A and B are shown apart, each in its own frame.
Chain A
Amino acid sequence: MIDSEILDAFVRNPNLINVKSYHSIAKIISALEQGSTIPQQFYNGNADKNENCVTVGITGGAGAGKSSFINKLISYIVQAKYSVAIVLIDPSSKLTKGTLLGDRIRMNPDYFEKNVYIRSLSTLDHVGNVPSFLDDVVKCMKIIGFDFILIETIGIGQSDDEVKKYVENIIYIPSNENYDWIQQHKSSIHDITDIYFINKNDIQDTNRIQTSIEEYLELMKQYRQKTPAIFCGNSINGDGIVEVYKALSKKLKNGSNIE
Chain B
Amino acid sequence: MVQILNNKNIARSNKRILIAKLGLDGHDRGVKIIINMLKDAGYQVIYSGLHKLPMQIVQIGVQEDVDAIGFSILSGSHVELITDFLEIWKTFDDPNVSIFAGGIISKTDEIKLKAIGVDEVFPTETDLKIILAKIDDRMLT
Chain A contacts to B: CB under 8 angstroms: 19, 22-23, 25-27, 29-30, 33-34, 92-93, 95-102, 104-106, 109, 112-113, 117-120, 122, 124
Contacts and interface: CB of A to CB of B under 8 A. Distances in A.
Contacts of B136: none
A101 B66 CA distance: 12
Interface stretch (B1-9, B100-108, B121-129): B1-9
Interface residues of B, number: 34
Contacts of B99: none
Contacts of B24: none
B69 to A, nearest CB: 14
Contacts of A122: 13, 44
Contacts of B13: 92, 97-99, 122, 124
17 contacts: A23-B92, A92-B13, A96-B3, A96-B9, A97-B12, A98-B38, A98-B39, A98-B41, A98-B44, A100-B36, A100-B47, A101-B47, A101-B64, A106-B49, A109-B56, A119-B63, A124-B13
Given A97-B5, A109-B52, A22 B59 contact: yes
Contacts of B35: 100
A99 B45 contact: yes
Question: Closest 8 A-B residue pairs measured CB to CB?
Answer: A105-B49, A26-B65, A112-B59, A98-B39, A97-B13, A109-B56, A97-B42, A101-B46
B21 to A, nearest CB: 10
Nearest to A117: B63
A119 B40 CA distance: 22
B60 interface: yes
B48 interface: yes
B111 interface: no
Contact of B40 (A22, A25, A29, A98): A98
A98 B65 contact: no
Contact of A101 (B36, B42, B44, B52): B44
Given A98-B13, A99-B44, A100-B39, A22 B62 contact: yes
